Chain A
Amino acid sequence: MHIFICDFLLDIVQNSYEAGSTEVFLTLEEDDTLLVCTVEDNGKGMDEDLKARVLDPFVTDGVKHKKRKVGLGLPFLVQACSACEGSFSLHSELGQGTKVTCSFPLNHVDTPPFGDLPSTLLALMSHPLADELVVKRTLATVKGEGGYELSKRELTDILGQLTSSGTLNLLKEFLVSQEEDLKPLYVPHSPLLA
Chain B
Amino acid sequence: MAKMTLEELRKLRNEKQAAIQKRDIEGKDSRIVIGMGTCGIAAGAKVVLDTFLEVLDEHKLENVSVTQTGCMGLCYVEPTIEVLVPGMPDTIYGNVDAETAKKIVEQHVIGKQLVTDHLFDRPAADIIQKDGGR
The chain A residues found within 8 Å of chain B, CB to CB, are 1-2, 6-7, 10-11, 14, 18, 64-65, 68, 70, 73, 76, 116, 119-120, 122-123, 126-128, 148, 154-155, 158-159, 163-170, 172-174, 176-178, 180-181
Contacts and interface: CB of A to CB of B under 8 A. Distances in A.
A186 to B, nearest CB: 15
A165 B57 contact: yes
A174 B36 contact: no
> On chain B, which size bracket covers the interface?
35 or more
Interface of B: 1-4, 6, 9-10, 12-13, 16, 20, 27, 36-39, 41-42, 46, 49-50, 52-53, 56-57, 61-71, 73, 75
Contacts of B69: 128
Contact of B66 (A14, A68, A165): A165
Main secondary structure of the interface of A (DSSP, over half): helix
A127 B68 contact: yes
Given A165-B56, A169-B53, A180 B1 contact: yes
A7 B46 contact: yes
Shortest 9 CB-CB contacts between residues of A and residues of B: A166-B62, A181-B3, A165-B56, A177-B4, A73-B38, A165-B64, A169-B57, A163-B65, A177-B1
